[in-house]
A = this chain, B = another copy of it.
Amino acid sequence: MSAAGIDYSQLYSASLPDPAPRWAPFPKYYFIGGNNDPEQIPIDGLIEAASSVLRREGAKLAIYNLGLGPQGYPGLRQFVADKSKRQRGIEAPVEDILITTGSGQGLDMISRLLINPGDTVLTEEYCYQGALNRFRKLGAKLLGMKLDADGIVIDALADQLAALKAQGVTPKFIYTIPTVQNPTASVLPLDRRHALIALARQYNIAIFEDECYADLLWDGIEAPPALYALDPGCVIHIGSFSKSLAPALRLGYLIAGWEIMRRLLPLKGDSGTGALDQMVVAEYFSKHFDNHLAHLNGVLRGKLAAMTEAVEKEFGSTAECCAPKGGIFLWIRLPANVDVRKLVKPAAEAGIVFNAGPEWAVSPDNSSNCLRLCFAMPSEGTIREGVAELARVCYEQTGIPVRSGNVPR
The residues of A with any CB-CB pair to B shorter than 8 Å are: 1-8, 10-14, 16-23, 25-26, 33-41, 43, 46-47, 50-51, 54-55, 58-67, 69-71, 101-102, 104-105, 108, 112-116, 172-173, 197-198, 200-201, 204-206, 231-234, 245-251, 257-263, 265-267, 269-277, 280, 377
Contacts and interface: CB of A to CB of B under 8 A. Distances in A.
9 contacts: A3-B233, A11-B172, A12-B113, A35-B63, A38-B63, A47-B55, A104-B270, A249-B276, A270-B270
A46 B17 contact: no
A13 B116 contact: yes
Contact of A20 (B18, B204, B266, B276): B266
Contacts of A197: 1
Contact of A10 (B204, B245, B280): B204
A390 to B, nearest CB: 21
B266 A17 contact: yes
A23 B266 CA distance: 12
Contacts of A104: 269-271
Closest 7 CB pairs of A and B: A5-B233, A274-B274, A23-B69, A248-B275, A20-B265, A61-B246, A50-B50
Contacts of A232: 5
Contacts of A267: 16-17
A248 B204 contact: no
Given A64-B33, A114-B12, A250 B274 contact: yes
Contact of A59 (B41, B60, B245): B41
Nearest to A3: B233
Contacts of A25: 67
A333 B258 CA distance: 40
Contacts of A62: 35-38, 40-41, 246-248, 377
B41 A6 contact: no
Given A11-B173, A62-B246, 11 more contacts: A3-B233, A5-B231, A35-B67, A43-B54, A47-B58, A51-B51, A63-B377, A248-B272, A250-B274, A250-B275, A274-B276
B262 A19 contact: yes
B43 A59 contact: yes
B12 A233 contact: no
A204 B248 CA distance: 39
B16 A248 contact: no
B274 A13 contact: no
A206 B63 contact: no
A14 B116 contact: yes
Contact of A11 (B34, B206, B249): B206
Given A8-B259, A54-B43, A201-B6, A20 B70 contact: yes
Contacts of A69: 23
A25 B66 CA distance: 11
Given A3-B233, A14-B116, A62-B37, A271 B250 contact: yes
A262 to B, nearest CB: 4
Contacts of A26: 67
Contacts of A66: 248
A51 B47 contact: yes
A263 B12 contact: yes
Contact of A54 (B6, B38, B47, B259): B47
A326 to B, nearest CB: 18
Contacts of A18: 266
